[in-house]
């Protein structure tokens, strides 16, 4: 896991950089400006369609879902680390080699 | 047990499973880059699945394209999430392709006997970029229409043959509904076929030749710690996949892409027109070249330079045939220069 | 290694936990996809038509109208009243046609027959044509799902 840390963080850093260059102020501001001018119009002819959850029920469902995904990810990583420890130890014991003998 | 023996008698997959358990992955300072390959595959799989779903509702004609995307985003249940995941996963995948390529360049993993793996990889990089380019037009909104006009005009800068590439891409002289239909066919049918073929070659070569070691470890010729690919390395890869998928969903749900009004063939180019982030450094290069250099247009010189760089890039393993020597060091430095160049040009294009 | 008193080994337990939770995560991803793939179909609750289009229909004749994405049939009866049907055969969903001379609805797909009140009288259709409620409200002809009539 140590092997992943530093270069992994720099890779995440690269991803964050591109992510910031994508959602930069000019686009986000543009969305906001368009939203304001489009706010008065009906759903069928907006200046720009900005998607997302439509009511509080959907918003809550979204937050619950994202929370569930992250919870699952952390739980699964915990289990996977145990499996990694198990298989690494088995490999070191040459558990699989002796089976073939 | 009964089912696997039934299949084993008929299809005989045990060769594959045996290979997967026997394949070893070396663990060292630079092993982290080994994760990039399967991460790209993960995002590509996500693209295929979300692409299948989007194609149920998307209508690839001039009249209906924008409207069908709006329908997906507003009326189809959770359509905005599927579209958002497709859009973000494309960016993630291309970012990872660049990271993967750079890691191979810097560790010189393309050296003998892996030259073909590199070349097939360059093909895959170009296909991925072309996926992004064709996909960008499909919503047929004002921004993507203008960006495609610019993008398909660039080959025109190449003397003699350029105009034919432009016409081939556009399905005519101008960007019209025919361009849209053509791009759609390229995006969902032609590119996937070519990608699968090249990917099969690339993955086969990687399995046949095994995982490469960085130059200094190979020279030392000492025992490097190794772990089996299955299941030890796969479990580690799964951790990376889970984190990437969680990040993808979070970003896709909280930053979904919007949709502009439909493209108007007669309207002037909208303000702030620019291509997707992975083309920004090239876009900026074209912007800074003067309009005339000697007897050629600045654009022509720039495009020819880019093509020359691309050719050198493709033949990099053959050029860098003495990796330990001085030329090898220059080529490694060139990778970092390229990173700096691309980052600076990208930031400059956003100012 | 499994103790005699254990239900399963520690390895099996860990594998079960890992596989089970992973399965739950994947299943939770399938649900949004299924919702996406099967969009809800909303049948209209009422359709308002201009009465002028249907006023001058002769008795024992039928005119089409759109009932959502399905065919709607408006029949003017001999006594001047109107009946509305969903013009979709109850056998396998083909659109039916009214034959005034025979006073029957006919489905060409498998020779299905309904009488002028929509009751299935011949061929494979298992049920009568679905009736909709019709009311004339001033200048409009309102067709509604039965049970949703306005007071």
ipTM of the complex: 0.87
- A–B CB contacts, 8 A cutoff, strictly below: 107
Class of the CATH-defined domain B18-261: mainly alpha
Q: Is residue C89 situated within a structural domain?
A: yes
> Beta strand C46-50 with C130-137: parallel, antiparallel or unpaired?
unpaired
The list of chain C residues with pLDDT below 70 reads: 148-151
- Residues C26 and C76 both lie in one domain: no
The pLDDT, as a whole number, for residue B102 is 96
- C22-26: long-range contacts, CB 8 A cutoff, minimum separation 24: C22/A76, C24/A72, C25/A69, C25/A72, C25/A76
pLDDT band at residue A25, thresholds of 50, 70 and 90?
very low
Which residues touch B320 (CB under 8 Å, ≥6 apart)?
B108, B110, B111, B327, B328, B331
The pLDDT, as a whole number, for residue B33 is 94
Q: Is residue C151 situated within a structural domain?
A: no
Rounded CA separation B89/B47 (Å): 7
- Residues C10 and C56 both lie in one domain: no
Q: Is residue C149 situated within a structural domain?
A: no
Query: Which range of residues forms the domain containing residue C105?
Result: 46-144
HEC states along C110-132?
CCEEEECCCCEEECCCCCCCEEE
Helix (H, G, I), strand (E, B) or coil at A41: coil
Q: Is residue C150 situated within a structural domain?
A: no
Write out the two tokens for B182: 């053509």
The pLDDT, as a whole number, for residue A22 is 52
Best CA proximity match to B84, nearest among B139, B35, B36: B139
pLDDT band at residue A15, thresholds of 50, 70 and 90?
low
- Tens place of pLDDT per residue across chain B (351 aa): 688 888 888 888 888 888 888 899 999 888 999 999 999 999 999 999 999 999 999 999 999 999 999 999 998 999 999 999 999 999 999 999 999 999 999 999 999 899 999 999 999 999 999 999 999 999 999 989 999 999 999 999 888 899 999 999 999 999 999 999 999 999 999 999 999 999 999 999 999 999 998 888 887 877 788 899 989 999 999 999 999 999 999 999 999 999 988 988 888 888 878 889 999 999 898 888 888 888 888 888 999 999 999 999 999 999 988 888 888 899 999 999 999 999 999 999 988
Window A:8-27, CB contacts with B under 8 Å: 8, 11, 14-15, 17-19, 21-24, 26-27
Identify the sign of the CA torsion B117, B120, B126, B130. Answer: negative
The pLDDT, as a whole number, for residue B165 is 93
Rounded CA separation B174/B165 (Å): 12
Select the residue from A10, A16, A17, A18 to test the B interface by mutation, using most B Cβ atoms within 10 A. A18
Q: Which residues in C46-72 are b (16+ Cβ under 10 Å) and which e? A: ebebeeeebeeeeeeebeebebeeebb
Tell me what the mean pLDDT of segment A16-45 comes to: 40
Ramachandran assignment for B2, one of left (phi > 0), alpha (psi -120 to 50 degrees), beta (any other):
alpha
- Residues C117 and C54 both lie in one domain: yes
B258: nearest CB among A31, A65, A76: A31
Residue B124 has a CB neighbour count (10 Å cut-off) of 21
Enumerate the residues of chain A whose CB falls inside 8 A of the CB of residue B33: 7
Given a cut of 50, is residue A38 above it in pLDDT? no
- Residues C23 and C50 both lie in one domain: no
The pLDDT, as a whole number, for residue B323 is 80
Domain coordinates in residue numbering, chain A = 1-51, 53-101
pLDDT band at residue A8, thresholds of 50, 70 and 90?
low
B81: nearest CB among C32, C37, C40: C32
C36 touches chain B (CB under 8 A): yes
Chain A neighbours (≥3 Cβ pairs under 8 A) are B, C
Enumerate the residues of chain C whose CB falls inside 8 A of the CB of residue B75: 39
Q: Is residue C79 situated within a structural domain?
A: yes
C110 touches chain B (CB under 8 A): no
Number of domains in chain C: 2
Domain coordinates in residue numbering, chain B = 18-261
The greatest distance separating any two alpha carbons of chain A, rounded to the nearest whole angstrom, comes to 77
Write out the two tokens for B227: 């772990």
DSSP string, B253-282: HHS---B-PBP-TTSPPPTT----GGGHHH
The pLDDT, as a whole number, for residue B239 is 97
C127 touches chain A (CB under 8 A): no
- Residues C71 and C9 both lie in one domain: no
The more confidently predicted of residues A46 and B152 is B152
The pLDDT, as a whole number, for residue A30 is 33
Beta bridge partners of C95: C88
Select the residue from A53, A73, A83, A88 to test the C interface by mutation, using most C Cβ atoms within 10 A. A83
The pLDDT, as a whole number, for residue A47 is 65
The pLDDT, as a whole number, for residue C42 is 85
């Amino acid at each position: 896991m140590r092997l992943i840390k530093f270069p992994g963080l720099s890779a995440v850093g690269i991803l964050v950089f591109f992510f910031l260059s994508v959602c930069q102020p000019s686009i986000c501001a543009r969305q906001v400006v368009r939203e304001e001018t489009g706010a008065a119009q009906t759903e069928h002819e907006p200046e720009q369609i900005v998607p997302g959850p439509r009511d509080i029920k959907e918003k809550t469902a979204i937050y619950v879902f994202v929370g569930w995904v992250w919870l699952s990810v952390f739980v699964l990583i915990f289990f996977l680390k145990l499996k990694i420890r198990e298989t690494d130890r088995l490999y070191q014991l040459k558990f699989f080699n002796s089976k073939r003998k | 047990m009964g089912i696997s023996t039934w299949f084993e008698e008929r299809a005989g997959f045990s060769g594959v499973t045996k290979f997967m358990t026997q394949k070893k992955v070396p663990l060292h300072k630079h092993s982290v880059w080994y994760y990039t390959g399967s991460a790209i595959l993960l995002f590509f799989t996500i693209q295929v699945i979300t692409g299948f779903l989007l194609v149920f509702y998307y209508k690839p004609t001039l009249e209906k394209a924008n409207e069908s995307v709006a329908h997906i985003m507003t009326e189809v249940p959770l359509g905005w999430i599927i579209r958002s995941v497709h859009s973000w996963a494309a960016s993630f995948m291309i970012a990872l392709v660049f990271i993967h390529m750079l890691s191979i360049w810097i560790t010189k993993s393309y050296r003998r006997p892996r030259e073909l793996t590199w070349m097939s990889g360059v093909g895959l990089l170009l296909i991925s970029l072309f996926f992004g380019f064709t996909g960008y037009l499909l919503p047929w909104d004002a921004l993507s229409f203008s960006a495609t006009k610019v993008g398909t005009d660039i080959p025109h800068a190449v003397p003699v043959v350029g105009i034919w590439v432009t016409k081939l891409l556009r399905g005519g002289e101008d960007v019209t509904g025919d361009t849209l239909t053509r791009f759609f066919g390229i995006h969902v049918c032609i590119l996937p076929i070519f990608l699968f073929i090249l990917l099969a070659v690339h993955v086969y070569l990687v399995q046949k030749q095994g995982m490469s070691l960085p130059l200094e470890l190979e020279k030392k010729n000492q025992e490097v710690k190794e772990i089996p690919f299955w299941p030890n390395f796969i479990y580690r890869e799964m951790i990376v996949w889970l984190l990437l998928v969680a990040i993808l969903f979070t970003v896709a749900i909280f930053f979904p892409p919007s949709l502009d009004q439909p493209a108007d063939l007669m309207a002037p180019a909208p303000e702030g027109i620019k291509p997707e982030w992975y083309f920004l450094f090239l876009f900026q290069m074209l912007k800074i070249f003067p309009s005339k250099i000697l007897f050629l247009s600045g654009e022509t010189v720039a495009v020819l330079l880019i093509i020359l760089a691309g050719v050198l890039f493709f033949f990099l393993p053959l050029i860098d045939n003495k990796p330990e020597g001085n030329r090898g060091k220059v080529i490694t430095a060139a990778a970092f220069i390229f990173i700096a160049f691309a980052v600076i040009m990208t930031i400059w294009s956003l100012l | 290694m499994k103790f005699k008193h254990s239900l399963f080994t520690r390895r099996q337990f860990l594998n079960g936990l890992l596989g089970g939770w992973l399965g739950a995560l994947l299943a939770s991803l399938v649900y949004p996809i299924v919702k996406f793939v099967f969009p809800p179909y909303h049948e209209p609750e009422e359709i308002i038509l201009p009465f002028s289009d249907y006023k001058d229909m002769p008795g024992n004749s039928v005119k089409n109208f759109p009932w959502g994405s399905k065919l709607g049939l408006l029949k003017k009866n001999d006594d001047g009243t109107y009946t509305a049907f969903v013009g979709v055969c109850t056998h396998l969903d083909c659109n039916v046609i009214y034959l005034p001379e025979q006073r029957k609805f006919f489905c060409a797909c498998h020779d299905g027959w309904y009488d002028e009140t929509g009751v299935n009288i011949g061929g494979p259709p298992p049920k009568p044509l679905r009736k909709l409620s019709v009311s004339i409200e001033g200048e409009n002809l309102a067709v509604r799902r039965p049970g949703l009539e306005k007071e």
